[in-house]
Amino acid sequence: MLDNQGGISKVRPSGAIQMNFLSKYTDTTYAVLRVVAGSIFLIHGVQKIFGVLTEHQPAIGSQLWIGGMIELICGLLIAIGFQTRWVAFLASGTMAVGYIQFHWKFQFGPEFFPAVNGGDAAILYSIIFLYIACRGAGKWSLDKTE
């Protein structure tokens, strides 16, 4: 095994291989996570607001329309890394509310679980955007102070 400088990790006494060689990609991987999550969120907003690839378009000013505007604007700003902490925090809260209100609906039993109620993406978005809000934009962003 090469040492950490050579790109392959040390073997622990238990025999488990440490994956330290991946640590040099942390900032780039985080930037990819931010750009991809923001872009997919943006696409959800485009779908809701402009009716792209859907037959259902919410009424202007409705709660779903407001959610679509948040997805559209916050998704774009997260992807480009502008005002990232604020918009990621707003997006995280929006997805938490969306999960509770539209997926979980305070039902107990099997409906509590995301695999049953279809809320997997909402929970993941909420946690990912909370992480982005805590960490900031990182590299490949317009937020130069972070």
Average pLDDT on 82-109 reads 96
The dihedral over CA atoms of 6, 12, 16, 18, expressed in degrees to the nearest 10, equals -40
Tokens of 15: 């025999």
pTM reported for the whole predicted model: 0.85
pLDDT band at 36 (very low <50, low <70, confident <90, very high): very high
The per-residue pLDDT for range 98-144, each reduced to its tens digit, is 999 999 999 999 998 999 999 999 999 999 999 999 999 999 999 97
Q: How far apart are CA 140 and CA 103, in angstroms?
A: 34
CB atoms within 10 A of CB 140: 15
Q: How far apart are CA 38 and CA 79, in angstroms?
A: 4
